[in-house]
Amino acid sequence: MIKTRLPNIKVTPPGPKAQAIIAADQRVTSTSLTRAYGLVAIRGEGMMVEDPDGNQFLDFTAGVAVCTTGHCHPKVVRAIQEQCERLMHMISGDFFGGPIVEISERLAAMLPGENRVFLSNSGTEAVEAAIKLARYATRRPRFIAFIGAFHGRTMGALSLTNSKVTQREGFAPLLSEVTHVPFPNPYRPLWGDGSDIGTRCVDWIETLFKTTVPASEVAAIVVEPIQGEGGYLIPPPDFLPALRALCDHYGILLILDEVQTGMGRTGRMWACDHTGVVPDILCVAKGLASGLPIGATIAHTKLMNWPPGSHGNTFGGNPVACAAAVATLEVMEEENLIANAARQGEMLLNRLHDVAGEHPKVGQIRGLGLMVAVEFVKDRKTKEPHPELRDRIVQGCFERGLLTLPAGPSALRFSPPLIVGDADIEAAVGIFGEVLKA
């Protein structure tokens, strides 16, 4: 592993050099981009990110769960350099290549049975491919997704997304025949005390089948094993098995969006591994290549048998991205990063409870592996979200050298690279505690 340094803030960020870059950025980039705070990243190493003013930040975002092996891991960098010297691009839809076979073989072997892989450029594209494949394989038009879900922003994936109205406003009509249902949130259950919220949400779908949504017309149910953008919401362990049983009963495909939860982030390769549920189609991206753009849609060979030309792209299977993905998986194995994610995630949860568990504005501290969130509320009894406080704490952490991100209405998320160590967690929790106290 790369030896990391503790945060070093030389000038309150964003400093003058960073501010100049931000001003230029805001003149020429799309106004649709959202930035949580004024970070200007010019260099990264391991757990650390540096800005142009010399400030060094401890990164507990990993570029939104992308930098699995940390920033610029030497083995991943070498794999990229060596591949660039051989071949940077050849369209995989028209020709054959080496790296695409190696990463596809590895991914196909990560689910039971014989599987095939379609490679793309992002999580959104992986979801788009899953949507098309589900319709083609079942000849059914409808989909069921969940309130609070995030699956991407292209028109098909956006039709499944349901986390913020700003992501959908002004873009109708979207993909027709998508029905959104409640996601089981144990912290804010729609029914009772939440003890049976998982099965109740599945029962809700069953009720829809009897009233408004013909089960025979549903191609797939699409779900994140843990909602990411929705607030790092962890459903009860009976939820995915019940959903799997429902799909099997009605001949519906189960699509798991593991774009953020996959690649060892939860302490298992896939978050669904915690419950033993096997999807019909699995989508992965973000952490697959430690920062290079790549996505993958994995499905059993019986499903992924669409004819040539029915789906493709120009840059999917790019040899440089594939080489980075192979190197990422090798580093994960060699440095035992999945086990590290499980161990460090437990430590992070425990330390956050020590520091913030009794704070009156902290409603819940939750997590699995290195997907950890602190939920802020105005009152613990009413559980009314407190996004203003959350945003101030995110900003305060940034000014002290810790990078975090918001999630959901009022949660602050911690999603560090899988290389995170004890000292990193102590430093991060220390800064978070200082900001919370202030």
Q: What is the pLDDT of residue 3?
A: 54
- For residues 43 and 49, the answer to whether their CB atoms sit within 8 Å is yes
- For residues 55 and 11, the answer to whether their CB atoms sit within 8 Å is yes
Annotate 169-205 with b (16+ C-beta within 10 A) or e (fewer). Answer: eeeeeebeebebbbbbbbbebeeeebeebbbbbbeeb
DSSP H/E element including 280: none
What is this structure's pTM?
0.97
Same domain for 180 and 256? Answer: yes
Tell me: the pLDDT tens digits for 42-66? Answer: 999 999 999 999 999 999 999 999 9
Query: Pairing between strand 56-59 and 48-50?
Result: antiparallel
Same domain for 321 and 340? Answer: no
Q: What is the pLDDT of residue 391?
A: 98
Same domain for 120 and 42? Answer: no
pLDDT > 70: what percent of the chain? Answer: 99
Rounded CA gap, 387 and 377, in Å? 8
CATH number for the domain spanning 280: value is: 3.40.640.10
Same domain for 298 and 420? Answer: no
Rounded CA gap, 49 and 401, in Å? 9
Question: For the purposes of burial, counting CB atoms within 10 Å of the CB of 331, is it exposed (0-12), middle (13-18) or buried (19 or more)?
Answer: buried
- Phi, psi (degrees; rounded to nearest 5) at 383: 60, 25
Structure tokens at 67: 């930098």
Q: What is the pLDDT of residue 2?
A: 46
Binning pLDDT at 50, 70 and 90, where does residue 176 land? confident
Instruction: Classify residue 401: in a domain, yes or no.
Output: yes
Residue found under tokens 């580093």: 331
Instruction: Classify residue 65: in a domain, yes or no.
Output: no
Instruction: Classify residue 70: in a domain, yes or no.
Output: no
Look at residue 5 and tell me whether its pLDDT is greater than 90.
no
Mean pLDDT for 135-154 is 97
Q: Where is the domain boundary, 281, 305, 334?
A: 334
Instruction: Classify residue 275: in a domain, yes or no.
Output: yes
Instruction: Classify residue 263: in a domain, yes or no.
Output: yes
Tell me: the pLDDT tens digits for 80-119? Answer: 999 999 999 998 888 898 889 999 999 999 999 999 999 9
Determine the Cα angle at 288 with ends 398 and 153, to 5°: 70
Q: What is the pLDDT of residue 195?
A: 86
Same domain for 318 and 350? Answer: no
Same domain for 303 and 371? Answer: no
Mean pLDDT for 339-365 is 97
Tell me: the pLDDT tens digits for 277-327? Answer: 999 999 999 999 999 999 999 999 999 999 999 999 999 999 999 999 999
Q: What is the pLDDT of residue 296?
A: 98
Same domain for 328 and 265? Answer: yes
Find the farthest-apart pair of alpha carbons in the chain and give their distance in angstroms, rounded: 63
- What proportions of the chain, in percent to the nearest 5, are helix, strand and coil? 40, 20, 45
Residue found under tokens 């004024």: 38
CATH number for the domain spanning 34: value is: 3.90.1150.10
- For residues 127 and 121, the answer to whether their CB atoms sit within 8 Å is no
Q: Where is the domain boundary, 275, 301, 334?
A: 334
Instruction: Classify residue 69: in a domain, yes or no.
Output: no
Look at residue 379 and tell me whether its pLDDT is greater than 50.
yes
Same domain for 157 and 39? Answer: no
Instruction: Classify residue 139: in a domain, yes or no.
Output: yes
Domain membership of residue 36 as a residue range: 16-59+336-437
Same domain for 91 and 196? Answer: yes
Same domain for 324 and 413? Answer: no
* pLDDT, the chain, mean: 96
pLDDT > 90: what percent of the chain? Answer: 94
Look at residue 71 and tell me whether its pLDDT is greater than 80.
yes
Any idea what DSSP says for residue 3?
P
Count the domains in the chain.
2
Same domain for 176 and 30? Answer: no
Same domain for 159 and 118? Answer: yes
Instruction: Classify residue 66: in a domain, yes or no.
Output: no
Rounded CA gap, 297 and 285, in Å? 9
Rounded CA gap, 319 and 315, in Å? 9
Q: Where is the domain boundary, 334, 364, 392?
A: 334
